[in-house]
Amino acid sequence: MTKNTDTPHELLEKLFHEPNRLAILSALCAADKGMTFNELRDGCNLTDGNLNRHLAVLRDADVVRIDKTFVDDKPRTTVSITRKGLDRFQEYLAALQTVLQAAQKAIPVEKKAMVPSGVLRAVTR
């Protein structure tokens, strides 16, 4: 499938371009050993139902793996990002970077001048 690179926003995968799922994946990609359901829920400020819904979507897309185990006779759900998920998320981030850079170029020069010069240097570096 070829994607139109003239419009970079079309490269953004809708699966990840949802604020809560973006938060979930950002947390998971930093957690090498995965995160428990409760850690993820609290870290992303989500309700149980919301998190469950998003995780189901991500699991069906083979982006996350959900393991249910018993620790001290209590059930524990651990969520981790899959290798394929990490690949796709990395591609999404690259596309997001392209979109942001395009947006940055589209800002008129007089508006850029209002930004401290150090910030602009960091962006255009």
Partner 1 sequence: MIANHIHDALSQVRKLQEVILERRSFRGYSGTARAMGGLVALAGACVLSSSRMPSSEWAHLAGWSVVLVIALLANYGALAYWFLFDPEARREFLRLMPAVDAIPPLAVAAVMSLALVMHGRFDLLFGTWMCLYGLVHVPYRLSLPRANYGVGLFYMVCGAICLLTPFGRFTNPWPMGVVFFIGEASGGLLLQRHRNRSGE
Q: What residues line the site for partner 1 (CB under 8 A)? A: 26, 29-30, 32, 83, 86, 89-90, 93-94, 96-97, 100-101, 103-104, 107, 111-112, 114-115, 119-120, 122-123
Nearer to partner 1, 56 or 123 (CB): 123
* Residue 64 three-state SS: strand
> Which token pair is 64?
């996350």
Q: CA 88 to CA 83: how far, in whole Å?
A: 9
* Residue 75 three-state SS: strand
Nearer to partner 1, 29 or 52 (CB): 29
> Which token pair is 105?
């170029």
What minimum distance in Å lies between the beta carbon of 49 and partner 1?
26
What minimum distance in Å lies between the beta carbon of 39 and partner 1?
17
Nearer to partner 1, 56 or 120 (CB): 120
Nearer to partner 1, 48 or 102 (CB): 102
One-character DSSP codes across 20-58:
HHHHHHHHHHH-TT-EEHHHHHHHTT--HHHHHHHHHHH
Radius of gyration of the chain (CA): 18
What minimum distance in Å lies between the beta carbon of 52 and partner 1?
24
What minimum distance in Å lies between the beta carbon of 53 and partner 1?
23
